[in-house]
Amino acid sequence: MGIHVYNTLTRKEEPLELISPGKVSIYVCGPTVYDDPHLGHARPAVVFDVITRYLKAQGHAVTYVRNLTDIDDKIIEKARQQNRDFKTLGGHYANRYHEAMRRLNVAAPDAEPKATDHILHMRDFISKLIQRDHAYQSRGNVYFAVESFKNYGRLSRRTVPSISSNFSVEQGKRHPADFALWKEAKPEEPSWASPWGSGRPGWHIECSAMSSRLLGENYDIHGGGADLVFPHHENEIAQSESLFGKTPANYWMHNGLVYIAGEKMSKSLGNALNLHGLLEIHRPEALRLFLLTKHYRHPMEVTHPALHEASARLSKLYRFLFRSAWSDAESGELGINRGALWTRFCNAMGKDFNFPMALSVLFEGIRQVNLVSGNSRDAVGADPACRAISLVSDIFFICRDVLGIAPEPSMDAWPYETETKLSDGKLQTATFRRAS
Ligand SMILES: [Zn+2]
């Protein structure tokens, strides 16, 4: 079934045409590991997890790479404040991120390159850019010369002002928009040897070097948060296209950011926006469901009622699945030979992965089964209408294989209702009480 994808590069929805039919290569910018993950980290992780699962259910072989930035100003600064080694600090927060991803049932990517494991490739990349006059050395720094790349600004739709005498150019740069590929080490900073003296790579070159190393010079999809369009992805394109003569990725997909509604809510949610904090209060599947309620490209506001609503929808879904005698075998193996509900679900997903539309197909299916079966467990299996069985099978499959929100088959019942307690508008606790 055809899939249309909104491509930030062209600002259009385009049919997804793969470089090798049946194979999809995806690179998504991962976190900079200097703090605990928050809901803003969970959104791209869950969005691209569901997209990857869906492409696999469609029979595609997917190669998914999501990096870790483990060297950066913020990591160095925090390590200095805490008097810790930057590697120990980065390792700690990488573990915290992975732990949250595991709890959220986000599948591990096929490769998760760490920037510090690829310094050699970054140096090599930078050397080649200098040889081709796309970069220049200035003291111990190396800058990319934006005026050497005629397509600069294409992704973010920005124009590069030409140099005039009015510009105050940061010392050592030829043009104010030039960005660092290699940064000279300051005293006591972690550093690596290079032809330009000891230093470390800039953030943008990390992703260009790692993506080309792992997925090649040209791959299918590059993803990340909308805040990465400029400068990060604009600069990635400038670097990679200058070296390889082609755009690194054919489709650029950006998820909207997560906002907290108003200052008051910001205070009351406080640390609860921390993923580990949220996971103390909400079931991980409810957070996944919440993150899928908006189109992935749209900004998203976190509110108590919205999180509450997601928990309630999950309860409804799980009550249905258990009433329908959830069994792993029943839901079938692949996305082939599926029923009409699956077709409708695919229609929604084919429209630039329209999650809200896909979810409404799912819940409409539940409503239909409930109508046919008169809400009784036995009737689902016993009903002569194969339609209900086919619907239930599709619903199981979608929940487990695509949305990643199915209960464990070993859970023999979903015995709880979620109740979130608020006090003075502040989120206190959530209790799971036994449903009657
Ligand atoms: Zn990146």
Query: Residues 205-219: pLDDT tens digits?
Result: 999 999 999 999 999
* 111 in the same domain as 66: yes
Cα(184) to centroid(ligand 1), Å: 21
pLDDT on residue 412: 54
pLDDT on residue 430: 42
pLDDT on residue 240: 98
Residue 380 lies in a domain: yes
> Distance between CA 339 and CA 336 in Å, rounded?
9
Please give the DSSP secondary-structure letter assigned to residue 164: -
Cα(29) to centroid(ligand 1), Å: 4
Mean of pLDDT values over 17-25: 97
Residue 222 lies in a domain: yes
- Of the candidates 196, 220, 255, which is a domain's last residue? 255
* 406 in the same domain as 279: yes
* 361 in the same domain as 304: yes
> CB-based burial of residue 188 (10 Å sphere; 0-12 exposed, 13-18 middle, 19+ buried)?
exposed
Q: Summarize pLDDT for 48-87 with one digit per residue, the tens.
A: 999 999 999 999 999 999 999 999 999 999 999 999 999 9
Tokens of 241: 């296209």
* 344 in the same domain as 236: no
pLDDT on residue 387: 63
* 218 in the same domain as 123: yes
Residue 77 lies in a domain: yes
Residue 207 lies in a domain: yes
Instruction: Map tokens 């111990």 to a residue.
Output: 140
* 393 in the same domain as 302: yes
Cα(307) to centroid(ligand 1), Å: 29
Residue 265 lies in a domain: no
Residue 436 lies in a domain: no
pLDDT on residue 411: 57
Which residue type is seen at 339? Answer: G
pLDDT on residue 409: 58
Residue 228: CATH number of its domain:
3.40.50.620
Which residue type is seen at 93? Answer: Y
Tally of domains within the chain: 2
Cα(28) to centroid(ligand 1), Å: 7
- Of the candidates 197, 227, 255, which is a domain's last residue? 255
**Residues in CB range of 73: below 8 A, 6 or more apart:** none
* 161 in the same domain as 90: yes
* 178 in the same domain as 43: yes
Q: Summarize pLDDT for 339-362 with one digit per residue, the tens.
A: 889 999 999 999 999 999 999 999
Total-model pTM: 0.89
Mean of pLDDT values over 231-253: 97
Cα(125) to centroid(ligand 1), Å: 15
Q: Which residues fall inside 5 Å of ion ligand 1, going by CB?
A: 29, 207
- Of the candidates 188, 220, 255, which is a domain's last residue? 255
CA atoms within 13 A of residue 359's CA, in its CB half-sphere:
21
Tokens of 149: 């790349």
Cα(80) to centroid(ligand 1), Å: 24
Cα(247) to centroid(ligand 1), Å: 15
More confident residue, 167 or 379: 167
Cα(67) to centroid(ligand 1), Å: 7
More confident residue, 323 or 366: 366
pLDDT on residue 319: 82
Let me know: does 311 contact 373? Beta carbons within 8 Å.
no
Closest CA to 2 of 18, 219, 10: 18
Cα(131) to centroid(ligand 1), Å: 24
* 318 in the same domain as 172: no
Cα(92) to centroid(ligand 1), Å: 21
* 278 in the same domain as 250: no
Q: Summarize pLDDT for 293-312 with one digit per residue, the tens.
A: 999 999 998 887 888 899 88
* 330 in the same domain as 213: no
Residue 374: CB atoms within 10 Å: 10
Cα(31) to centroid(ligand 1), Å: 9
Residue 263 lies in a domain: no
Which residue type is seen at 331? Answer: S
pLDDT on residue 278: 87
Cα(313) to centroid(ligand 1), Å: 34
Mean of pLDDT values over 375-399: 65
Cα(203) to centroid(ligand 1), Å: 7
Cα(3) to centroid(ligand 1), Å: 25
Cα(72) to centroid(ligand 1), Å: 12
Which residues span the domain enclosing 164?
4-255
Residue 13 lies in a domain: yes
* Averaged confidence pLDDT in the chain: 86
* 204 in the same domain as 85: yes
Mean of pLDDT values over 19-28: 97
Q: How many separate helices (H) and strands (E) can be counted in the chain? A: 14, 14
Cα(425) to centroid(ligand 1), Å: 37
Q: Does residue 146 carry a pLDDT above 90?
A: yes
Cα(233) to centroid(ligand 1), Å: 7
> Distance between CA 37 and CA 63 in Å, rounded?
24
Tokens of 35: 């703090």
Cα(27) to centroid(ligand 1), Å: 9
